[in-house]
Amino acid sequence: MSALLLDWPAAAQAGPAVAGGKGWQLGRMACLGVPVPAGFVIAAHAGGQRQAGDAVPAAVQAALADEIARRGWQGLPLALRSSASMEDSAGASFAGIYLSRLNVRGHAAMLQAVRDIWDSAFTTQAQAYRQGLGIAAGDQAGMAVVVMPLLAAESAGIVFTCDPVSGRDDHTVIHAHWGLGEALVGGQAEGDEYRLQENRVDGSLHLVDQRLGAKARYSVPAAAGGTELRALPGQRATQPVLTPAQAIELAGIAHDAAAALDYAHGGYDLEWAWDGERYWIVQARPITARAHHTYPALAGQPAYWSRGNVREILPDPLSPLDWTLCRAMADRMLTRGYELAGYRILPGAAHAALFHGRLYLQTSLMQWEGYDALGIPPRDMNRLLGGEQPAIAVPPPALRERGARGLRLLRYLRAAGRQRRAAPAVLAHAMQQAAAWRAQPPPATLADWGTRLRARFAAVRGADDLFFLQGSGGGTLFNLVQLIDKYCPGQGHALAAALMAGGPPSVTAAQGYALLELARIAAHDGPALAWLRQPGRPGTEWARALADDSPFRQAFDAFLQRYGHRGLYETYLRSPRWREAPDYLLDQIAGLVGHDEAALRERQRRASTQAWQRVRGALPIWLRPLARQLLKAAQADSNHREAARSALAAYLEALRNDARALAPHFGGPGGLQQPDDIFNLTAAELYALAEGRLAPAAAARRAAERRARLQDWSAHTEPAVIAEHGTLPAMAATAPGPAGARAGTWQGTPVSSGQAQGRIHIAHSPADGLGMAAGDVLAVPSTDPAWTPLFLKAGALIMETGGYLSHGAIVAREFGIPAVANVPGILRQLQPGEPVQVDGTVGRIQRL
């Protein structure tokens, strides 16, 4: 092709500065397997430094004539559409500002259409629109033009993959009309509206509402070129444009196109056409304005999105397959407990979203739901969650509301009791099912792969009992803290933390004790200890390197049978499990040889005993049984929270194995470039790939684009809090700024009581902690279960993020380690090896 013209791959490669926003998006979609008609783009620079009214340059005229002839389009009616550099972008749609020309016939008419489209950039309305967005005249590059054959559309319209009017992201809205879409898009006719709702468990779409428009007139090609409005025959005007099955099919295509363009932000406005055989996407733009879908009490307040607790388990950007699961799981974890209490969650409210590729939670919703449902003050909810998000404003509760909250609390306690009693069976079933999945041989056909994947992903996204156990562990702990704080003002969190150290160990703590036992066994198994301490030993060779009768080999095998489904940052499907990559475990075991477990147990016992003596002395005698009951329930909730997480990790291991086993079917030339690219596809794309609805080459391009985007996201630091529909207020001066660094004192959230002194050991990943000496103060950005072995040696714990319910807080309390969380930025101000004192009772860190 001429350098002045771009086919779809060239347009996708050139970007919006050359192909314009519309041409770039169409080129991308064509390359990514979205049904886009054939076409090409007149490059933005083709018009040169033109003024309004200038003729089309001769070189462009010749290039167009040659390209139309080469494609055999001389006798076809064409559609030419504007494609300015910023058009159809996330910041500006330019909808209706620039011209499009449909049913263009002949070379002269095509040149006139190009000239008209170029001239539309100089209109008064275009200049006013750009000025309103603060776009300087020099920032708007030349106008590209999209050229396609005009589809013989029997029907056409628009699809919104979320509802921009209500703001619901679980709703898809389709506008449809007979004939060309011009009358509908231009507001000259009232078409049908179809509303579909997503099932978050299996991702399916269902028609929930249908409204038939008047459809009095419709747009058709005119004989002499251009279009004209005609009256629609009465019988056809009253007939639905789409059947329910067609609406579902079209919505599925639209969602696939939106995910192909941007899986992290799936809100797109797409124009479509039906030619009697298939649906085509002829334009796509991000939805630039959405209503604030929230509770009435929050309507005038910003929506605060926070990294909070999630940073500890998901510090890095999420791949598409990770987001497929986390989006549904986060919503269910955060709302299931309220539903069981009889509280009506706002339908379609998004509790989780991706910004900068990372998972954020909408803490405005979470604060309101905790307050409105159960009376938990927003500041207390923030303390449980961790993070730097502001507290929302709430009205004082009326007497009637207090009574309703009391009833819901009773319902919640009854439901939570049932869930706790059922927990052992629920957890055992999940572990057994995950083990059965892992042991099942691969399906015989690719179609069977699609069936298996659909069923397994739906089973995990629908694991409500596990989500309750994982997400609702703070209710009884909050009540215990409140009770203690009433009689020991200001000490509720610290004393509750110390009391929690005396309970039965969680699965995560038990895993830590098992590592200590492995270290003890290794110390008495000479060949095994020598192998463990061998520099550069390959961890995956442990079974071959150690004799069959080695006590350590047998014990390590049993450990992997029980805990091998876990791993570093195990919530990511792309992360290897300990069964696959045991080096980190083996390094930790070597470092734990000679460590004194008795001292750890004594520290736990002493902390719990002293705390109970203080609480017992302060509480009235009739409240002591209640305190013991709340403590027992809080310990059970925390243990169930950790056990549910372990069970979900077992499910994720099975899904990871499935994805890895499917990847080789689509590798090789023209297929996935790397085996791990399979994780850069959504679950729906995996189904489509297995069922032959997505070409391997298109899937490979989607995965490669996303791999590059993930790398770019990973190279940048994300903000702790983001505000939508408003701005962030000035944050309280509790973060460790320069003054705090000079004074050598930092204040955070106390999450595990006690005091300890030691030298700072900074670790940005679990592997960074391998050289930590016993008694050092471990300072980390956040933690997940893979960090637990380091807790066995740490004298105290400092976390930049996290709250009272974070993993690090739970396990630190179990081990009796003083811990302070939610101290953002402190790692930049501490120096490795410097001595500090950590006071987990009041949440203070002091440089010594």
The low-confidence residues of the chain, meaning pLDDT below 70, are 87-96, 126-141, 472-474, 731-742
pLDDT for the residue numbered 316: 93
Chain length of the chain: 848
Q: Answer whether 107's CB lies under 8 Å from 7's CB.
A: no
Antiparallel, parallel or unpaired: β 777-780 and 819-821: unpaired
Q: Per DSSP, which regions of 415-566 are E strands?
A: none
Q: Answer whether 19's CB lies under 8 Å from 145's CB.
A: no
C-alpha 185/C-alpha 827 separation (Å) is: 54
Given phi > 0 = left and psi -120 to 50 = alpha, else beta, which region is 744?
A: left
Residue 774: strand, helix, or coil? coil
Q: Answer whether 162's CB lies under 8 Å from 171's CB.
A: yes
Q: What is the mean pLDDT of the chain?
A: 90
pTM, 2 dp: 0.90
pLDDT for the residue numbered 736: 39
Q: Is 90 exposed, middle or buried (0-12, 13-18, 19+ CB in 10 A)?
A: middle
Q: 288 φ, ψ to 5°?
A: -90, -15
pLDDT for the residue numbered 587: 93
Q: Is 690 exposed, middle or buried (0-12, 13-18, 19+ CB in 10 A)?
A: buried
Q: Answer whether 568's CB lies under 8 Å from 585's CB.
A: no
C-alpha 754/C-alpha 796 separation (Å) is: 9
C-alpha 149/C-alpha 221 separation (Å) is: 13
C-alpha 56/C-alpha 53 separation (Å) is: 9
Please give, one letter per residue, the 3-state secondary structure of 22-58: HHHHHHHHHHCCCCCCCCEEECHHHHCCCCCCCCCCH
Burial code (b: 16+ CB inside 10 Å, e: under 16) for 373-397 equals bbbbebebbbbbbbbbbbbbeeeee
- 465 vs 332, 459, 471, 533, 539, CA distance in Å? 10, 12, 10, 43, 36
Q: Copy the structure tokens of residue 226.
A: 């251009």
Q: Copy the structure tokens of residue 623.
A: 């409240």
Q: For the chain, how are helix, strand and coil distributed in percent, rounded to 5?
A: 50, 15, 35
Q: Answer whether 646's CB lies under 8 Å from 564's CB.
A: no
Give the distance from CA 357 to its chain's centroid.
7
Q: Which residues contact 394 (CB under 8 A, 6 or more apart)?
A: 297, 367, 368, 371, 377, 378
**Amino acid symbol at 795:** G
Q: What DSSP assignment string belongs to 439-473?
A: HSPPPSSHHHHHHHHHHHHHHHHT-HHHHHHHH-T
- 350 vs 162, 747, 795, 808, CA distance in Å? 11, 32, 40, 26
User: Of all helices (H) and strands (E), which one includes residue 60?
Assistant: helix 58-71
Q: Copy the structure tokens of residue 392.
A: 């929302």
Given phi > 0 = left and psi -120 to 50 = alpha, else beta, which region is 157?
A: left
Dihedral angle, C-alpha 497, 502, 507, 509, nearest 10 °: 80
Q: Answer whether 379's CB lies under 8 Å from 481's CB.
A: no
pLDDT for the residue numbered 88: 57
pLDDT in tens, 137-177: 554 557 999 999 999 999 999 999 999 999 999 999 999 99
Cβ atoms within 10 Å of 570's Cβ, excluding its own: 24
pLDDT for the residue numbered 409: 86
